[in-house]
Amino acid sequence: MIEEPDFNVYPCRGEYLVLDKNYSNLINSMIYPVPVKELGVLGVHITPTIEGNILLGPSAEFIDDDDDVSTTKK
């Protein structure tokens, strides 16, 4: 017999903001917030890319429909 899992899955999606390469001099390593255990998520972090852009994100939006794969405009 298969047991019920002792965890729940909450569908969530997020987006990143990509900064132009003109801002590449602002940081040279990844920056993460101090984790808040009660939130259950890492939070928005800042990541430089090897192409010279900077990524800010991800945002977090909990969704009811786990088949919803819609996106926003680019």
What average pLDDT does this structure show over 53-60? 92
Half-sphere exposure of 60 (CA within 13 A, CB side): 11
pLDDT value at 19 more than 80: yes
Q: For residue 45, what pLDDT is reported?
A: 92
pLDDT value at 26 more than 70: yes
Q: For residue 73, what pLDDT is reported?
A: 73
Entry pTM: 0.71
d(CA 41, CA 62): 11
Spatial CA neighbour of 13 closest among 73, 74, 68: 68
pLDDT (tens digit per residue) in 30-44:
999 888 888 777 788
CA distances from 73 to 15, 17, 19, 63, 70 (A): 11, 12, 16, 18, 10
